[in-house]
Chain A
Amino acid sequence: MRSMKAVYTIWLRDVLRFMRERSRIVGTLAQPLLYLLIVGTGLSAAFRLPQAPEGFSYLQFMYPGILGMSVLFTSVFSGLSIVWDREFGFLKEVLVAPVPRWSVAVGKALGGSTVAMIQGAVLLLLAPLVGISLTFITILKVFLVLFIIAFSLTSLGITIASRMESMEGFQMIMNFLVMPLFFLSGALFPLKGVAPWMETLMKIDPLTYGVDALRNIIFANNDQGRLFVNFSLSLDLTVICLMALVFIFLGARAFNRQE
């Protein structure tokens, strides 16, 4: 009961803070829009997807990937924000409270997921714009998948943050972890047809399964889109659920060691 209260408190704080930072809201929404509208539109004009059927645009292919990307960036960033909490002292106040440490980690992970899903919700509003129609049930399923991805990636951020001394390492994490996770996830180009070494890397990237799950759901009734789905939905879900469990476990453990 008490732990639940702590989880709720930490979650509420993150959401409140997000709501209060106008610039952060604008920033997190602008980034996927840039990708979708500029990169997506530009690339779809420049080339056609290999084996792409008529009437299926690159933009449509990319749309689930952009959902995954925005969740990736937002959640990792939310997890890393613990470094700031530590810098500005608030983390101390939380760590000295008589609540189990894991509840702090879980609250934080849920907070990051909520923020990421708010962003996802805005992107879902744009679906008609790229020629994708979604049913209510589809949207619910997408939300569920986004939540699992966001929860695990925020936990990953928390795990990393517990080993970071300051935000100076932020760029390194962007370059060596977040961007590779994104590029290799199949968000921008399909897994089929790339060099074998790259295919292996892409199959190792857990986010690949997240993006694939999104395509599975969004293109459920779209035969053209289904051509770009690589795995079964159940495999995708198994992988991302496992990822969530592993990362929240690591995150909670990292928190336990904090002093």
Chain B
Amino acid sequence: MRDLVRKYKDFLAVKGVTFDVPEGEIFGFLGPNGAGKSTTIQILATLLKPTEGTAVVNGFDIRNEPDKVRQSIGLVFQDPSLDERLTARENLYFHAMLYNVETTIMKKRMAEVLEMVELADRQKDQVKTFSGGMRRRLEIARGLVHYPKVLFLDEPTVGLDPQTRKRIWEYIHYLRDKEGLTIFLTTHYMDEAENCQRIAVIDHGEIVALDTPENLKSVIGGDVIKISTDNNEEVLPVIKNRLQVKAEKQGDYIAIQVEKGEIFIPRLAVELKGRINSMVIKKPSLDDVFLHLTGREIREEGVNAVDRMRVYSKRKH
């Protein structure tokens, strides 16, 4: 029996994060850019040292046994890390060499992972001829060559088209089922996080919630109806007092929380006869969970933060 526990506390960008991930789980780290997701992964992968606290990955301590941790994890970075001048196969070969995969197994394993990500027919082509999706698939394959126990995926689907994103998620599920991998990934796509078995919502370096997607959504309590009216200020108290439901202003909209949206809408329409300009009914999503937990939408600071972080991380190295 292996007890997979990861804990660690405190890093400038990450403030006292503690969590456990059992073997064979798909665990997601969800949060806006700059929340500390990548930092956490880098610490767990022993690329950064934690200021305080420690973590145990696959039974090895990240502080005392970094080489054993490295040997037992596969890592797919947020930014590409392939050698474009080398062929797909050579990229895998160099990885296998660096991770000391036995020569006898190497060939079989390389063929296996190439097959898995459907790149076997392109293995002799230089990576510079590959599309973004192919590169990402190759990176996942490379991360698996040395039979890791835990696979870290930092924003695995960022910048990919919807079909490729879907394929990547299929691989992730496949890997968990067939290879028994524990998968730890970060994302800022809410819809993707739902593919995880459990999600830690992280914001400003702190975990604000940790649960299954279903349980997280149930925190919201029912559906959200968003309406815009001819005068939101006037209408808001009407909704609150007459209809006896929770409602609040969100930008140009009024957000109303009700258990069953489709039953509530006719009542609302009658009450606000002629005053409603538009209406949207939303089943709870992780977006709402994030909004509920942090008071902000995850996308708000998206683009700028990405740029800032990219520039920052380039400078830093």
Interface residues of B in 90-113 (CB under 8 A from A): 90, 94-95, 97-100
Tell me whether B97 and A93 are in contact (CB under 8 A).
no
Interface residues of A in 1-18 (CB under 8 A from B): 2, 5-6, 8-9, 12-13, 16-17
A1-37 CB contact bits vs B (8 Å, 1 = yes)? 0100110110011001100110000000000000000
Tell me whether B85 and A17 are in contact (CB under 8 A).
yes
Tell me whether B85 and A89 are in contact (CB under 8 A).
no
Contact of A9 among B82, B84, B98, B315 (CB under 8 A): B98
Q: Write the nearest CB–CB distance from A106 to chain B, whole angstroms.
A: 14
Tell me whether A93 and B85 are in contact (CB under 8 A).
no
Q: Which residues of A contact B97 (CB under 8 A)?
A: 5-6, 8-9
The count of A-to-B residue pairs whose CB atoms sit within 8 angstroms is: 72
Tell me whether A5 and B86 are in contact (CB under 8 A).
no
Tell me whether A90 and B47 are in contact (CB under 8 A).
no
Whether A259 contacts B47 in the complex (CB less than 8 A), given A5-B100, A9-B94, comes out as yes
A241 in the interface, Cβ–Cβ < 8 Å?
no
Whether A92 contacts B81 in the complex (CB less than 8 A), given A97-B70, A98-B70, A259-B48, comes out as yes
Contact of A16 among B47, B84, B90 (CB under 8 A): B90
Binds A, one of B21-29, B71-79, B222-230: B71-79
Alpha-carbon distance A20/B87, docked complex (angstroms) = 11
Tell me whether B81 and A97 are in contact (CB under 8 A).
no
A237 in the interface, Cβ–Cβ < 8 Å?
no
Interface of A is mostly: helix
Q: Write the nearest CB–CB distance from B132 to chain A, whole angstroms.
A: 13
Whether A96 contacts B70 in the complex (CB less than 8 A), given A89-B80, A89-B81, comes out as yes
Q: Which residues of A contact B94 (CB under 8 A)?
A: 9, 12-13
B67 in the interface, Cβ–Cβ < 8 Å?
yes
B83 in the interface, Cβ–Cβ < 8 Å?
yes
Q: Write the nearest CB–CB distance from B150 to chain A, whole angstroms.
A: 13
Tell me whether B99 and A98 are in contact (CB under 8 A).
yes
B45 in the interface, Cβ–Cβ < 8 Å?
yes
Contact of A88 among B67, B70, B80 (CB under 8 A): B80
Whether A97 contacts B99 in the complex (CB less than 8 A), given A17-B85, A20-B85, A259-B47, comes out as yes
Alpha-carbon distance A5/B100, docked complex (angstroms) = 8
Interface size on A, residues (CB 8 A): 26
Q: Write the nearest CB–CB distance from A73 to chain B, whole angstroms.
A: 21
Q: Which residues of A contact B77 (CB under 8 A)?
A: 89, 92-93
Q: Which residues of A contact B79 (CB under 8 A)?
A: 89, 92
B242 in the interface, Cβ–Cβ < 8 Å?
no
Tell me whether B47 and A13 are in contact (CB under 8 A).
no
Closest to B95 in A: A93
Q: Write the nearest CB–CB distance from B42 to chain A, whole angstroms.
A: 8
Closest to B98 in A: A97
Q: Which residues of B contact A95 (CB under 8 A)?
A: 47
B275-317 CB contact bits vs A (8 Å, 1 = yes)? 0000000000000000000000000000000000000001101
Tell me whether A93 and B99 are in contact (CB under 8 A).
no
Closest to A104 in B: B98
A-B CB proximity, top 3 nearest:
A89-B81, A98-B70, A97-B98
Give 16 A-B contacts (CB < 8 Å), ordered by A residue.
A5-B98, A8-B97, A16-B90, A20-B85, A88-B80, A88-B83, A89-B77, A93-B77, A93-B82, A96-B46, A97-B99, A98-B66, A98-B68, A99-B98, A165-B314, A259-B317
